[in-house]
A and B are shown apart, each in its own frame.
Chain A
Amino acid sequence: MHYLPLPRTVVPAVAIATVVLVVWLGWGSIRDPEGFWAPGDLSRYHAAVTHCMSCHEPFRGPVSAKCIQCHSEAYFAAGSTPSTATFHRDVIGQQQKCLGCHTEHRGPLANITSRKTHHDKSPLFSADSSS
């Protein structure tokens, strides 16, 4: 089956539209990076975080080193029970990733703590603590 050749203007028109789109994406990525790139809104706990690089390391993703800049030893000592602080200190000491339990970009109402991973063994989510 022989088809007629494309009109000459089609490919340049799409190329120009693509360039315009890319420029707009670049502009939007600076103005509203979450809207252009994030797979979902941050939870209400992290609603105040506005810079992607507060949590993300370029080409490495979200890293625990960024988490503990805010969720520091002092932060746990001030706002958590001793068992919570000890547990998280141990987890960080074992080089485990915070992301193993705490996932983000799942909407403002999301529970960002998974209770099905190593927390099963933690005193934080034991039968006693949940009662």
Chain B
Amino acid sequence: MDQAGLQIVSVAMPGEARGLRSIEMTPVIRRLVTIVICITAAIVGAWLFESVLSIGKPSPFAHSTTGHFMGWVGLGLILLVFVYPMKKRVDRNRRWPRNWFRVHMVAGVMGPLVILLHSGAHLHALVPLLALAAMAVVVVSGIVGQGVHYLVLRNLNDTRRQLHDEGFAADDVEVRLHRMAAQEEAFRLWQSIHAPMTLMFLVLAAIHVMGALYFGGF
């Protein structure tokens, strides 16, 4: 079967000619690896940038007035993310809010990046650390959902439609798509993480903000 979701892409390595094993990745795995690399680079990049901003300062940038202001900016961007799910749920009869979904994706990445500048790599207190971890879980699950699960689901639906058009019986189609369906079911986990974990993130973020105001003042 030469479907997009099952297609094996061989990445020829220089060592292949010398008898070393080549790395074989499906488009899905390749997308997943790309996402992991991008997320890691974004975290390291943001924290390195915060370190550069801290050079020559008595306190880290994250603990400065500007660093605290970054927290409010990040929070504002993150709150912007919630317009999309609210519009989607409130106006069920209206058209899918495509533009708000774009805002959801952009603000959902930019907000957490600003929060990484606000936190820096200074992970000491448990409350903000847990809020940061919950934010990471929500963001990563959202990116995996849009970047990987969407790809898997689209490939599965396209392949199913194609097999039906070729005249295969419904049962036969499902047997042939068993592997793709299992993969789609596995990546569907993002749904069970992304929205529900937002609740935990919001509670932890609220506790962090209240604690920061209580101990740090306005």
Contacts and interface: CB of A to CB of B under 8 A. Distances in A.
A1 B150 contact: yes
Given A14-B197, A28-B126, A36-B127, A6 B207 contact: no
Given A36-B125, A37-B215, A60-B218, 19 more contacts: A1-B153, A3-B188, A3-B191, A4-B188, A10-B192, A14-B197, A18-B203, A22-B207, A28-B126, A36-B127, A37-B125, A37-B211, A38-B125, A39-B124, A40-B124, A56-B215, A103-B58, A103-B63, A114-B58
B204 interface: yes
Nearest to B63: A39
B200 A14 contact: yes
A90 interface: no
Interface residues of A, number: 35
Contacts of B127: 25, 36-37
Interface string B192-205: 10011101100110
B24 to A, nearest CB: 28
Contacts of B203: 18, 21-22
Interface in B129-170: 130, 150, 153-154
23 contacts: A1-B150, A6-B191, A6-B192, A11-B196, A11-B199, A13-B196, A17-B200, A18-B199, A18-B200, A22-B207, A25-B207, A35-B125, A35-B126, A36-B127, A37-B127, A38-B125, A39-B122, A41-B124, A59-B213, A59-B218, A61-B217, A105-B124, A114-B58
Interface string A33-68: 001111111000000000010001111110000000
B59 interface: yes
Nearest to B64: A103
A74 B107 CA distance: 54
A106 B59 contact: yes
A21 B126 contact: no
B199 A15 contact: yes
Contact of A58 (B195, B199, B214): B214
A6 B154 CA distance: 19
Contact of A59 (B188, B191, B204, B214): B214
Interface of A: 1, 3-4, 6-7, 10-11, 13-15, 17-18, 21-22, 25, 28, 35-41, 52, 56-61, 103, 105-106, 114, 116
Interface string B174-186: 0000000000000
B15 interface: no
Contacts of A7: 192
A21 B195 contact: no
A25 B195 CA distance: 23
Interface in B109-129: 122, 124-127
A6 B126 contact: no
Contacts of A58: 214
B126 A14 contact: no
B19 interface: no
